[in-house]
Amino acid sequence: MATFDDVARLAAGLPEVSEGERYRGWRAWAVRRNVFAWERPFSKADVRRFGDAPVPDGPILAVSTEDLQEKEAVLAAHPSTCLTIPHLDGYPAVLVRLDAVEDGELRELVVDAWFAKAPPALAAGHRDLLG
């Protein structure tokens, strides 16, 4: 099972990343002040919207995607670990079940989120991170 400390370790290995807090003191990671990954536990409203469907257990990480098309591609490529909720409709980000994600998959999701938010000149100089 991955943890937020694993996310922090991965994020710290990326260029110009800082860790801070977001809403309610949740951990967040940013590249040049652009948040690309953050803790995202389910609110009471989120839980109600699941209706009769089971609410995923365990820690939830949100990661940015390049755009809404990339969001759909990520959801299709990672159906057992990534999901979305109505709160994220129209927003380029997915939720990641840390209790279900494998190390390599988590690295891919975090690195891709970094590229989604990194300034183009910074990202262009670090394409080697994709390999």
The model's confidence at residue 131, banded by pLDDT at 50, 70 and 90, is: low
CB 66 within 8 A of CB 120: no
Compute how many other C-beta atoms are within 10 angstroms of the C-beta atom of residue 100.
16
Q: Is the pLDDT of residue 130 over 70?
A: no
Helix (H) or strand (E) holding 4: helix 4-12
Query: Mind listing the domains of the chain with CATH numbers?
Result: 4-122 (3.90.1150.30)
Q: pLDDT digits over 55-64, tens only?
A: 998 999 999 9
CA dist., res. 118 & res. 66, Å (int) = 10
Q: Is the pLDDT of residue 34 over 90?
A: yes
Sign, CA torsion 23/28/34/36: negative
Q: pLDDT digits over 93-127, tens only?
A: 999 999 999 999 999 999 999 999 999 999 888 87
User: What separation in angstroms does the CA of 95 have from each of 25, 62, 68, 113, 116?
Assistant: 18, 4, 14, 12, 15
